[in-house]
Amino acid sequence: MGIAQRSTTRREREHRVWDRRMAVYDESLILIHRIAHDRGEMVRTGILPERRNPQTDRADITPVLAKLEIYGSDQLLAAHEKTFEAMREWINAWGIWKTQEETNPRRSDRDPLWVIVTEGVRKAEEADRRFVELLRAEARADGHGKRKGVRFRNRTGGPTRDAQ
């Protein structure tokens, strides 16, 4: 294989990786917006919207998370983890608020359980904002397939090297 052909093959591979990464970033952003919409509805109404088909939603999330692990930088993955930790926190707080026994749940700053829900929502909004910032920065990065802080395994299964 000639030098020009190898160079072309390498560039084509970098473009394919870049295209796949951007597709995953698109899917990730859609999920973040969907969750933010549901969270906003919950804050406005006190009711967590139910998806028409929760099984389909769950099935949508799993491949996106797997692809994000392949194509996302370490920094983006850490931000993603914080986003989902914050989501779990506000959903758990909402569940506790919704099932309180002594009184009807009220969306009020006087209800300490609702205050915990709104604090969780603020944390989730901040985590989402940070994740989206990083995602946008990576999408605007200099180039097709080149990320710092990501380790690739070479084709022979040998030791990894840092991406340039």
137-154 confidence digits (pLDDT tens): 998 885 554 444 444 443
106 pLDDT higher than 70? yes
What SS3 state is found at 143? coil
pLDDT digits (tens, 9 = 90+) for 34-83: 999 999 999 999 998 886 555 555 557 788 889 999 998 899 999 999 99
Angle between helices 3-45 and 74-98 (to 10 degrees): 20
104 pLDDT higher than 80? no
Cα separation, 69 vs 127, in Å, equals 18
CA distances from 62 to 59, 65, 126, 129 (A): 6, 5, 23, 21
What are the φ and ψ backbone dihedral angles of 59, each rounded to 5 degrees?
-65, -30
* Percent with pLDDT over 90 in the chain: 50
156 pLDDT higher than 70? no
Give me the pLDDT at residue 76, please: 93
Q: Where are the alpha helices (DSSP H) in 46-139?
A: 54-71, 74-98, 112-139
What are the structure tokens assigned to 20, written together? 């796949």
Report domain extents, the chain. 3-145
**129-137, long-range: CB < 8 A, 24+ apart:** 130/79, 130/82, 130/83, 131/28, 131/32, 131/76, 131/79, 131/80, 131/82, 131/83, 132/29, 132/32, 134/73, 134/75, 134/76, 134/79, 135/25, 135/28, 135/29, 135/76
